[in-house]
Structure 1
Amino acid sequence: MFGTAGYYLLEFTDGQCYIGESIDIASRLNQHLGRFRDIATIRVRPEAKSNAQTSILDHKRLLRLRERRLIHHAQESNLLARNVNEMATLVGESKHLDHVIPDAEQRRWLDAPDTVNRADSTTQKFEHSQFLGAADNFRRFASMSESVEMLQLIGQYLTRCVPYPLRTEYQSWSVSCLPTTRSIPRRLSCVSIAMTETFVVNIDPTSGTIGGFIQVNDAELFSAGAASELAFRRRHPHATLSVANYEESGPGQTIIFANSLAQLQQLRDDVAVTRAAATTALNIMRKGQSMHRRSHCPQLVAAALDLPAAL
């Protein structure tokens, strides 16, 4: 019998795999055997030694950090894994999105996101009482001198980068308005898909400068490797690139920071950037439903997309 804690790899008959960790491998594998009927091989790597002084919670955190590296390494080695978190692309069916948008429509959308989105007239109704707080926040947002430019940016991100925004609003993604966070720079608006912040507009409380960031897919934006990155830096010399550190995104994701509204607008008008952002948005949306519905502001969505005012 193998050790209690450690890591395991399930290999399936279709060539896919699943990577996991557990403080009780035997019990966890029994669960998988009851769930998956096409397991071909099980590989186990027990921990060499466990620290008796480490709490169960800290032990679990350590296992998850190492599991994360293993999943990222598998993707970088071109393995197809059925894991959801830490994956850049969800393999197989989406339990959530496929019921809202059939797979064929998802593929059609990715070919021409803005064209397909403009043709989709599906809207959702919201209860007035559910969003009273959001309405007050939106009134304060709309009173800002830069509100028109910010609304245009948010609207064009939704139109160009978010799958069927009118159909998936609230269920798959949400947008906050003046959220009560302590982050610096301070958030003015944040589009979150599932659990991941994908497009943020923020303000530096000291200088009053408004900027933000957008998350993109590396393989899409930098398809030609170093040459693509060099071309991007020439187009956007003031933008800053940083590796995305969100669990849902998986490896191969970059956050592009802009230090002004003008820089955000330049990113918005760059087809390569919006295409890469659309790829990221679809991949994350396939993983699950919105986890930030409490902070959703339908009034901001209506204004950004030039829809009838939300109740």
Structure 2
Amino acid sequence: MPPTPNRLLSDWKSASDVDEWARAHEFGEPIELTDRNLRALSRAHSGHPVGLYLWEGAEHEIYLGISADSVVKRLRRHLIDYDFANIQNFRYRHHAGTSRELRDIERQCIWEAIWTQRLVVFNTEHASSVLHNTDFDRLVTEDEQLVWFEDPATANLASDHAYRTPDPSELARSTKNYPRFMRMPDADRIISAVSLYLRAAVPFPFQTQVQYWSVSCLPALRLTDGYKRLVTLSMGILEMLWINQAPSGAVDVRMGTDYRFLPPGDTEAVLRRLGVTMAGIVHDRGGANEEVLVFPSTETFVHALQTSAPIRIAAARFALDRMRMGKVTRHKESHNYLLAEEALSRADGWPIASESLDLSDTLETTL
């Protein structure tokens, strides 16, 4: 059998706290992570071992994941992405439910592993899912990214606040739609919603403007059933925060998040109490962790983002991953400097309490 890139240690064994937690959560016996064992698991499930998996690195860090296709494919990918962890074993928990059910179970397991057993969980230990070196690291170092992710709103408040001055052609493009937008009755509330997102979830928004995020104003985007796009904030090629107007005149907000950081427990019920619904994976390029949240009004969006630290962290993690994946591409020319400048000027005014990844207080109130 071909070797896997990890190196099994002869006298290594699973940590007792990891073993205890894994068995209590039906992950079963540890299996050495070798090509032979991965092939055996695949054969035992007709090539599609679906459900949850847990692996343990040489230093006893763990990673919890899911697959609705094949956990073997995911484990082979992790051997490459997490080569520095030197994965020693894995455990498998069969579950043939829907992707939504798997996400709910995974989210709950991650939180329980962290807060009940105090295990070191790779899912939250790293600031980003994108582990290789990127262009973004040259603008913001990896250490700065880690510090930012511990408390995005506070880090953004203390960051460089230099505005980027547009050139004449950029200003002309911005002026085309902005006055018309500002005449709309909801314009002020929309700008405030954008400013809150910039403060709570966008890494170093002054430094990353245009290169890593852009915001368009009344873009020429065709929507169905009479809906109109008012604002789109994009990263890379992906829309991250977008605001639509219904034929009735009602305005709703949609925001991309990393589902693993949303409130644990009955996540949908917790979000419903805030007036928020889950739309799942919306974009082909959104990745496996995308969870788009729908807010029926700008007021609901502002209240939810100010109230829920897990929603802010989920949005921040998703945004950081997108920036690490690459710069703004086709949306760069549609960036509206006037809208961006006004939103940035309001960002510091939001009263957001300092927070960290230790969200145990929030966990207690949402379970």
> Deviation per CA, 1:190-247, whole angstroms, max 9, x where unpaired?
110111111111101x20111120111111114x3x43443222333xx321112324
Q: How many residues align?
A: 241
Note if contact 1:178-1:189 (Cα within 8 Å) is conserved in structure 2.
yes
Which has the higher relative contact order, 1 or 2, with Cα contacts under 8 A spaced 6 or more apart?
1
- DSSP 3-state at the match of 2:279: strand
Residue of structure 2 equivalent to 1:259: 296
Deviation at 1:70, TM superposition (A): 6.6
From 255, 260, 263, give the equivalent of 1:219: 260
> Deviation per CA, 1:143-169, whole angstroms, max 9, x where unpaired?
112111111100110111000010011
Deviation at 1:276, TM superposition (A): 0.8
1:20-169 matches, within 5 Å, as: 74-75=73-74, 79=78, 82=81, 89-94=129-134, 96-120=135-159, 121-169=161-209
Residue of structure 1 equivalent to 2:24: none
Note if contact 1:114-1:161 (Cα within 8 Å) is conserved in structure 2.
yes
CA distance in 2, matches of 1:168, 1:304: 14
Deviation at 1:250, TM superposition (A): 1.4
CA distance in 2, matches of 1:10, 1:97: 33
Note if contact 1:89-1:284 (Cα within 8 Å) is conserved in structure 2.
no
Residue of structure 1 equivalent to 2:317: 279
Note if contact 1:72-1:251 (Cα within 8 Å) is conserved in structure 2.
no
- DSSP 3-state at the match of 2:206: helix
CA distance in 2, matches of 1:72, 1:301: 42
Residue of structure 2 equivalent to 1:298: 337
CA distance in 2, matches of 1:10, 1:176: 50
CA distance in 2, matches of 1:144, 1:285: 31
- DSSP 3-state at the match of 1:183: coil
Are 2:274 and 1:235 aligned? Answer: yes
CA distance in 1, matches of 2:140, 2:151: 15
Note if contact 2:279-2:292 (Cα within 8 Å) is conserved in structure 1.
yes
Deviates more, 1:266-275 or 1:194-203: 266-275
Are 2:213 and 1:177 aligned? Answer: no
Are 2:227 and 1:210 aligned? Answer: no
Consecutive unaligned residues in structure 1, runs of 5 or more: 1-8, 16-40, 44-67, 83-87
Residue of structure 2 equivalent to 1:289: 327
Aligned-residue sequence identity (percent) comes to: 24
CA distance in 1, matches of 2:140, 2:258: 21
Residue of structure 2 equivalent to 1:57: none
Residue of structure 1 equivalent to 2:234: 192
Note if contact 1:248-1:284 (Cα within 8 Å) is conserved in structure 2.
no
> Deviation per CA, 1:77-102, whole angstroms, max 9, x where unpaired?
983555xxxxx9212212x1000000
Deviation at 1:10, TM superposition (A): 11
CA distance in 1, matches of 2:273, 2:260: 19
Deviation at 1:295, TM superposition (A): 0.7
Could you say if the C-alpha distance between residues 116 and 79 of structure 1 is closer, same or farther in structure 2, counting changes exceeding 3 Å? Answer: same
